[in-house]
C-alpha cells in the first residue's frame, strides 16, 4: 500500500507541475492576492519555479528514487502552499495538510519493496 501511496503522490505533484507549466494562468489562480503583494518575485516566476521544483519530486516519488530527500522538498513546497492559502481555513488548505503528512511519512520509512531505492540498497 505504501508503494501505491508513493506513486499516487508522485502523480499529484506531476499533474500540478505539468498543468501549471502548460497553463500558467491556472497556476496563478491558486495564489491569494496577499502573497503577490509581499513577494519580491513576480507571480508568473513563482509559479514557474514551483512547477520546476515539483517535477523532480514527482519523478522521485513515481520511481522511488531518493524519496527521503525529495520528500523534504515536497513538504517545503506544500508548507508554502498551506501558509499561502491560510492553513485549514478552506478546502485547499485542508487537502494540502493531508498531502503534507502523507509526504512526511516518506522521510521516516524505509524504501518500499517496489522502488529504485530498495534495489540500490540491496
Contact 84, 31 (CB under 8 A): yes
Contact 107, 68 (CB under 8 A): yes
pLDDT tens-digit series, residues 60-95 = 999 999 999 999 999 999 999 999 988 898 898 999
pLDDT of residue 108: 97
pLDDT at 113 over 90: no
pLDDT tens-digit series, residues 27-67 = 999 888 888 899 999 999 999 999 999 999 999 999 999 99
Contact 14, 63 (CB under 8 A): no
Q: Is the pTM of this model over 0.85?
A: yes
Report the alpha-carbon distance of residue 122 to residue 118 in Å, rounded.
7
pLDDT at 122 over 80: no
Amino acid at each position: 500500500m505504501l508503494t501505491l501511496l508513493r506513486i499516487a503522490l508522485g502523480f499529484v505533484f506531476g499533474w500540478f507541475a505539468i498543468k501549471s507549466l502548460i497553463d500558467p494562468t491556472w497556476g496563478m489562480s491558486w495564489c491569494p492576492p496577499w502573497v503577490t503583494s509581499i513577494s519580491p518575485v513576480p507571480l508568473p516566476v513563482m509559479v514557474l519555479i514551483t512547477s520546476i521544483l515539483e517535477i523532480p519530486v514527482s519523478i522521485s516519488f513515481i520511481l522511488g528514487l531518493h524519496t527521503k530527500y525529495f520528500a523534504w522538498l515536497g513538504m517545503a513546497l506544500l508548507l508554502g502552499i498551506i501558509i499561502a492559502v491560510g492553513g485549514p481555513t478552506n478546502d485547499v488548505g485542508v487537502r494540502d495538510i493531508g498531502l503534507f503528512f502523507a509526504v512526511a511519512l516518506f522521510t521516516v520509512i524505509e524504501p518500499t519493496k517496489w522502488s529504485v531505492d530498495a534495489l540500490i540498497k540491496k
